Structure 1
Amino acid sequence: MNNHTLLDLDQTAALIRAGKVLSLAGDEALLAQLPAGHWIAGTIPYFIAGDGGTESRDRVFVTELTTANAATVDIRRYTTDTIHRIAIDAPENGYTILILPAMSAIHAEFANHARDYEQMFLKPVIGWVAGTHLSELGEIAPKACDGRTGELLAEVAVALHVPLPPSLSATIHILNLFRPDPAADVITFPEDGFSATACHVNGQPALFADYLAERRINTRHPLVADYHGAHINTSYREIDRDAKTVRFYAPVFAGIEYRQAAPVGDYVREFDALATSGHGKAQFACNCILNYLYGELRGRKTGDLRGPATFGEIGYQLLNQTLVYLDVQHLD
């Protein structure tokens, strides 16, 4: 079996009963029927599978963590009071897969503060933000699932800590199609948050919603900031014209300089170009639901990197409109 694939309920349950260590994604009704075992999961019906992008409510996307030992993995739950320990609890050599339920308090806590958590960026923490079918957005709460009990959790994150032997090493890779447009205006915001009303454009005060409308900004392309050489996206969620408020899928931060992203051509061709350097056999991968939608990825592949199409990606901190994956390699 390919270790990244869509399976039906019985096939997934058989792997769990066989003692496999799994990261799962699927519809809430399916996840609720799975037996207890060494797995974590999140709710989502969108995937990049072997045949390309697809939507399914009757299959589970199964990632078998072939380098994980069921006897040594550690599954933990995190609340807003304990999530700051995520990297402290992570193995000294290994990796952590973290799943956050979207639009929850712990989602906001991690998004706003993960970059300041102790030991963050010193250990590989990768993962994703669970979601719902887009037709149910705001009606059904996204959930993470603790496979030890099968409990589905709307306000709690779950993590799978995977220790590795000294002969192996884990590395996170972030594929980001977007770069700041050097000709675009410099945008700054007075406050941190998932929404913004006021901003400064090239140092001049403005209402951000009005600015976007007047400049006819394509909000399918995110804002991009340069964090010490790393390009980090902040994607647009919606614009409330009446309230003059712009809402995002990740927070903006006060004092950080943002520019609108430069246009992207064909998503699949661009992702293939980014991945041609060779990524080995990825243990885990996920892509963004916005890439799935805006890149029209249904039925189209992004190389051989497969996984859920998510409401946000985690590569140490919360990311938007990226593809993240984890390699585990033998040390020379």
Structure 2
Amino acid sequence: MRYRWWRVAAALVVLAAVAALVWANREELPRAGRALAGADPARLVLATGVWLVWIANWVLLHLAARRLTGAGGYREFLVLLPVTVSSLALNLAVKSGNLAGVAAFGLDARRRGAEQGRVTGAYLAAAQTAEVGFVVTLAAGLAVVCWDGKLERAEIAATVLFSIGLLARVVALVAAVRSRAVLRRLWTWPGRSWDRLLRRPERERGTEAADEFAAAVDAIRARPVAAIPAVCFAVAIDLLGAAVLWASLAAVGAGDRPLVALVAYAVSTLFGIVGVLPGGLAFAEVGAAAALASYGIPVGVSAAAVLVFRTFVFWLPLALGGLLAWRLRSSPG
């Protein structure tokens, strides 16, 4: 209960800060409105096409992971398309380190009589690979920022926080390789620490997810070359995400600036990861707009571009995936 109220309080603080930021830049709102009203339809169509390919790459990432772990293969593309979009919506709606999305794949596995452990292992393998893809994109974005001399304290702080989380994942990977028992202890450590912090009796915590994670790691270790397609799809997801932002910038009249789009996408995603709200809400928007403004794009135009971009990568997947998740849950097994 205390944890839930802490999250609510944090959300209210963030929303208040964003409201204050909007109020401080209220003179830019008419410019943002004009940029949106005059958006180039051809560029919006281009952004839509790139977004569809972005969705397809998410499906391909999961298919590659399923093939790697023996849970399926590429022939399941049309079957897994709605499941993947549902999974994206769950991850956007819940701050879970991308673990919430496994529920959609688990439900699909039960409906089709698939082996639950392999399906979960494949999902975890895909989730870890997606993080590898973002690390590549983040490194490229930070390289551009450092080259231009525009690295700010906020980006440094967010990178440090992300690196801490990434280090924790690396420790879990090493534990999975060395000892299943150590992995189980590490997996349940946050929950046990939280129980001690709240001074309540420690609860028994299941380790099934840790075992499934270890199985996914074992599958990758057994066939490392077979993991290359998954890594390629993961990198493509982030590059396509940056391309959606690039098309959004061009649509609202901010020019044809792919490297700026790459930097803003990396910063936006980074801030979204370390932010306290689901889907990086508020953090991702502010991070992207600040990055764009640092390259001389007017604040109003930056805000318009970010609004278009976030519509594609947040609001559309959330709405469409929510509908598909409801249909998946209500359809007979």
TM superposition score normalised by structure 1: 0.26
Determine which structure has the larger strand proportion and give its number. Answer: 1
Over alpha carbons, which structure has the higher Rg? 2
**Greater relative contact order (Cα 8 A, min sep 6): structure 1 or 2?**
2
